[in-house]
Amino acid sequence: MTVFESVPGAVRDGDVISHFGNPMIEQRLLASGQAIVPLGDRTLIEVAGEDRLSWLDSITSQSVARLAPGDSTELLVLDPQGRVEHAAAVFEDGASVWLIADDADAEKLATWLQRMVFRSRVTVTVRADAVLAGFFAGGDAEARVAASAPNGVPLIWRDPWREVQPGGHQYAAVDAHPGADYAWSVAVVEDPASLTEPFAGALAAEALRIAAWRPRWSHEVDERTIPHEADWIRSAVHLSKGCYRGQETVAKVHNLGHPPRRLAALLLDGSDVVLPAPGDAVFAGDAEVGHITSAAIHHEDGPIALAVLSRRAPVGELIVRSEGVDIAATQQVIVPADAGATADVPRLTRLSRRPLGDDPRNAH
């Protein structure tokens, strides 16, 4: 990340550059396709070998067996109870599948994949030295990023969040989904020294992600998360593909049940200039109904957040408690309380519960 750290005004937080001096200006430049974001908190994993696509298809939530060179998607690895263990962006270049994972998950994901190889003709390699950069497609930034192309296809992942993917399903009941304009892309950079300003930091990128209702493993996932709760079936789960670990829970909740929790977007009162932190409690009256997963200051909407709430949390106004301060929050429903139960299963009537001989219509 040396090339970015040398830029005047760069403020670093661990492996991440938070901003380059003015997060609001950077956010506007990023949204308009002008700025490039260094992604020091992501790791690249290469999956090679002739069985790579069929193998990944058999062990993850997404249908990837027929990906063509240049295709992008994303996948989840679920545990046997359908809870999210890992998440990754997916890009196929004709010779390898390239996975992009959050740093905190990447080594665990790679280790799990290596354990699952068995007799498949597959190799899994962490490319820890790869430099990743994010930008919004359609602007000058895209032209300024020269992507690596080890197999002849530029390694640029296009986030599928903009629309419901084949085999997916959207729970958000909105006419205009905020993710429709989220043209987020991530490139594996060929020569980091060739990148030129303007740059934007992580604060800008996170604000735009939150505004698009886009879940992320490092923020929205905990030990209880199932894909339905974050509307992640929209882009990362194929509901009619073959069997994989966790599929039974995915199918049961989607067809017959309801997710126990639901993701919501919050518009926060900015008068106290207090931005909540992940984990801060969310209340409806005196009852605690959830917690913050992500928060940022948006260049148009002001303070915003994503929160995981109990399915039974009311749809109205909420309160976020942060550092002893109560922050009023207007709720935007992402996953409705009645999400799931999509199967048209006939319900038993009182008459149909009777033994056949008790139905008067059967009398002779």
All domains of the chain in start order, with CATH: 2-236 (3.30.1360.120), 260-333 (2.40.30.110)
CA 347 – CA 341 distance, rounded (Å): 12
Structure tokens given for 179:
């993710």
Q: Give the pLDDT confidence of 24-66 residue by residue, as tens digits.
A: 999 999 999 999 999 999 999 999 999 999 999 999 999 999 9
What pLDDT score does 2 carry?
Answer: 56
Cis, peptide link before residue 198, omega less than 30° from 0? yes
- Express as a percent the part of the chain with pLDDT over 70: 94
Please report the pLDDT score of residue 345 as a whole number. Answer: 59
* Total-model pTM: 0.93
Is the pLDDT at 354 greater than 90? The verdict is no
Q: Work out the average pLDDT over 327-338.
A: 97
Least confident span in 12-16, 183-187, 264-268, 312-316: 12-16
Q: If DSSP codes are grouped into helix, strand and coil, which group holds residue 275?
A: coil
In order, the DSSP letters of 207-273 are: HHHHHTT---HHHH--TT--GGGGTTHHHH--TTS---TTHHHHHHHHHT---SEEEEEEEEP-TT-
**pLDDT beyond 90 at 104:** yes
pLDDT score of 310? 98
Minimal CA–CA distance to 113: which of 55, 155, 66, 63? 55
